[in-house]
Amino acid sequence: MELLVATHNEHKKEEIQEMLPEYKVTSLTDYGIFDEIIEDGNSFHENAAIKARFCFRKTGKASIGDDSGLVIPALDGRPGIYSARYAGDHDFKANIAKVLAEMENIDDRRAYFVTVMCLSDEKGEQYFEGKVYGNITREVRGENGFGYDPIFIPDSYEISFAEMSPDDKNKISHRRNALDKFLNR
């Protein structure tokens, strides 16, 4: 069964494909769809739905819109829904530098990643949410992963997501948690 993921991010597509081997995961790039999807929602749920609806309307294929982000309570929830463009549009080195600078004198380093997925298909819409809790490092650690992975250590671990193998990260990630709920629907 095909599942269209509302992304041009090949990392995200590959990560989801690894977690859903029984599906053929496709992306907007695979369909040659390069229209800009305006994510102007006020929450992860709204942004996920905007993306899923767009893809389903455009292709008629069961589509998943996913909005993910890093939430840091000590920063009033920032970067939150602005995670990908916190210091510059998808410039994660700048985004990481901004978070580390803002956290420099903060001892409360608790944070969590959240993924909200919206499935849009002929039956309507369904939502699946996953979270993983942990702490923000004081420096960049590791080479794997993407986004904020080099500054996030999940609870019960002593290494960052970026220091883990992709398989190990995918077993515990926020996206994994959301996809498990999707699979068990």
DSSP string, 138-151: SS---SSSSTTGGG
Check residue 151 and give its pLDDT. Answer: 98
Q: Cα-flanking dihedrals φ and ψ of residue 128, to 5°?
A: -140, 125
Residue from 66, 67, 91, 168 carrying the catalytic annotation: 67
Q: How many CB atoms sit inside 10 A of residue 32's CB?
A: 6
89 part of the active site: no
What residue spans define the domains of the chain?
2-183
Check residue 36 and give its pLDDT. Answer: 87
Which CATH code is given to the segment(s) 2-183? 3.90.950.10
Check residue 15 and give its pLDDT. Answer: 82
The answer for residues whose C-beta is within 8 angstroms of residue 142's C-beta and 6 or more apart is 149, 150, 159, 160, 161, 162, 163, 164
Check residue 79 and give its pLDDT. Answer: 97
How many angstroms separate the CA atoms of 15 and 141, rounded? 20
Check residue 179 and give its pLDDT. Answer: 93
- Per the CB < 8 A criterion, the answer to whether 185 and 162 are in contact is no
**Across the chain, how many H-helices and E-strands are there?**
5, 6
Global pTM? 0.90
Length of the chain: 185
How many angstroms separate the CA atoms of 121 and 100, rounded? 40
pLDDT tens, per residue, the chain with 185 residues: 999 999 988 888 988 898 899 999 999 999 999 998 988 999 999 999 999 999 999 999 999 999 999 999 999 999 999 998 899 877 889 999 999 999 999 999 999 999 999 999 999 999 999 999 999 999 999 998 789 999 999 999 999 999 999 889 989 999 999 999 999 88
Check residue 133 and give its pLDDT. Answer: 98
